Structure 1
């Protein structure tokens, strides 16, 4: 694995339209991410946080809340990710809400043309302006990266689509909107719901998921939403859904991903310190990162 890691924070809360998650990058840093990864032999460069301009009141455009601000921040993020990758570094993005995945993927795919994606999440994030029940853009980043939805979201970074449906796996889903379910069937997107994880076990699910995203791709991006884990493990997330992946299952998934040695980029999102308890969610995020980066007991 690339030992040169660049940490990029994005204090974005506009995609979720809920305060608190903008403090996620600070909480993850406070939980010791730099010390943990340096202790594993990684060279860490923390370039700080992308500036997110927040208006004084809600602005909604075509069923998309804060569209201008979300596009602006993600465009800046895409450029930052691309710059770090051009220097031969591994981008590790800290959120912030999940809308920032549009910028991360836009930056990565300027260097990795055929990118596989593991989307670790309780939700599909496959809504568009036509299907969204809320107008919150953090429910749209996977659809936008696939080239579906508002043209300004789709074209962040100046090109679209960024990824192909056949190169995506959604892992841990248990709350999908009707439009998302229709899109999954229409596009043939591989989804391992909690039903499959319970029935098959995490080891088999990850074997199949890694094989799926690695086939005919040039590298894999991990988009890890902390609400993919069960809320008993991570109380500090904005949209918790009961019945999620356990702490140990999460570690196993990340350990197997590290062993596969396919990751070229990663992001960890939706840590909300306001809703948290003693920063436990950020500490879990750091623990999951360490496993994804190859930490082992022996």
Structure 2
């Protein structure tokens, strides 16, 4: 991983109904991410936050998607910033914001790779489209949009599509999948480790298999980590909590193994909602995981 890290915040809560996740980047910064990374030995550049504003909340009459225009505009701005970070040769670290921001992150990153891999560390698949979404919330669509599936406005952010291929994706921690997502996973042959597999195999084997799988087929790997992958006991401050999730040590081990592999070339941490949190517990957890991912060691 590059020794220069550029942080960019995407304070957006327009991809879903529950407000407050727009304060996620502030909570993560307050938990000390810049100092933490500097202590590890990185040169850290904090670019601040992209401007989201407070647009009127609307449902798009054509697609039924919530806040489509605002989400598209924000992701275009994020894609431009991430593109600039990549152009400068820095490691992009994006702070969310709801998971719809992954559309912009991947639009800015994937043009620099021929075979970008993605680790989607999440309780959800985020593989819905206009046709399959039960809610119309765009934070449930970023992985599908990055595959070139869904509303044209989302798919074409960055000016090209698709950003990634289904065979280069690994989803880890899934335990809440909609019917349309299950069907798409089977159709596309997407590799998924649900909580069943993780309980059965253990995190060390899951990560060993993930690393081996992606190492042989990709030229870079993006980590998209939704804090709701962890059980609400450890991460109470998330927009869409699902019981029965990953533990603190399991997740730190996963990040440590990714650090050892040297695979990760960009990352984002999303869905921290301080309004629902307990004394910034989830923001602090996010910083702990970032430290592990980026090479922090006990000895």
Q: Check whether TM > 0.5.
A: yes
Q: Give every structure 1 segment of 4 or more consecutive aligned residues whose post-TM-superposition deviation is greater than 6 Å.
A: none
TM-score after normalising by structure 2: 0.98
Measure the CA separation in 1 of the matches of 2:96 and 2:7: 11
Q: Any idea what the Cα deviations from partners look like across 1:201-237, whole Å, max 9, x if unmatched?
A: 0000001111122222111000000000011000000
Kindly indicate whether residue 37 of structure 2 is the aligned counterpart of residue 25 of structure 1.
no
Q: Any stretches of 5+ residues in structure 1 without a counterpart?
A: none
Matches within 5 A, 1:211-290: 211-290=212-291
Structure 1 residue 114 displacement after superposition: 1.2
Tell me what 1:46 maps to.
Answer: 46
Structure 1 residue 113 displacement after superposition: 2.5
Q: Any idea what the Cα deviations from partners look like across 1:103-140, whole Å, max 9, x if unmatched?
A: 00000012123100000000000000000000000000
Measure the CA separation in 1 of the matches of 2:198 and 2:65: 33
TM-score after normalising by structure 1: 0.99
* Alpha-carbon contact 1:16-1:137 (below 8 Å) kept: yes
RMSD: 0.8
Tell me what 2:129 maps to.
Answer: 128
Q: Any idea what the Cα deviations from partners look like across 1:163-207, whole Å, max 9, x if unmatched?
A: 000000000000000000000000000000000000000000001
* Alpha-carbon contact 2:57-2:67 (below 8 Å) kept: no
Q: Secondary structure at the match of 2:17?
A: coil
Measure the CA separation in 2 of the matches of 1:117 and 1:214: 11
Tell me what 1:98 maps to.
Answer: 99
* Alpha-carbon contact 2:38-2:44 (below 8 Å) kept: yes
* Alpha-carbon contact 1:102-1:141 (below 8 Å) kept: yes
Q: Any idea what the Cα deviations from partners look like across 1:55-80, whole Å, max 9, x if unmatched?
A: 23433341211110101010111110
Measure the CA separation in 2 of the matches of 1:116 and 1:215: 10
Matches within 5 A, 1:163-242: 163-242=164-243
Measure the CA separation in 2 of the matches of 1:51 and 1:220: 27
* Alpha-carbon contact 1:53-1:69 (below 8 Å) kept: no
Q: Secondary structure at the match of 2:192?
A: strand
* Alpha-carbon contact 1:6-1:89 (below 8 Å) kept: yes
Aligned length: 298
* Alpha-carbon contact 1:54-1:69 (below 8 Å) kept: no
Q: Secondary structure at the match of 1:212?
A: helix
Q: Any stretches of 5+ residues in structure 2 without a counterpart?
A: none
* Alpha-carbon contact 2:57-2:66 (below 8 Å) kept: no
Measure the CA separation in 2 of the matches of 1:21 and 1:213: 31
Q: Secondary structure at the match of 2:112?
A: coil
* Alpha-carbon contact 1:255-1:294 (below 8 Å) kept: yes
Tell me what 2:16 maps to.
Answer: 16
Q: Any idea what the Cα deviations from partners look like across 1:22-78, whole Å, max 9, x if unmatched?
A: 000000000000000000000000001011133234333412111101010101111
Tell me what 2:90 maps to.
Answer: 89
* Alpha-carbon contact 1:7-1:45 (below 8 Å) kept: yes
Measure the CA separation in 2 of the matches of 1:242 and 1:18: 18
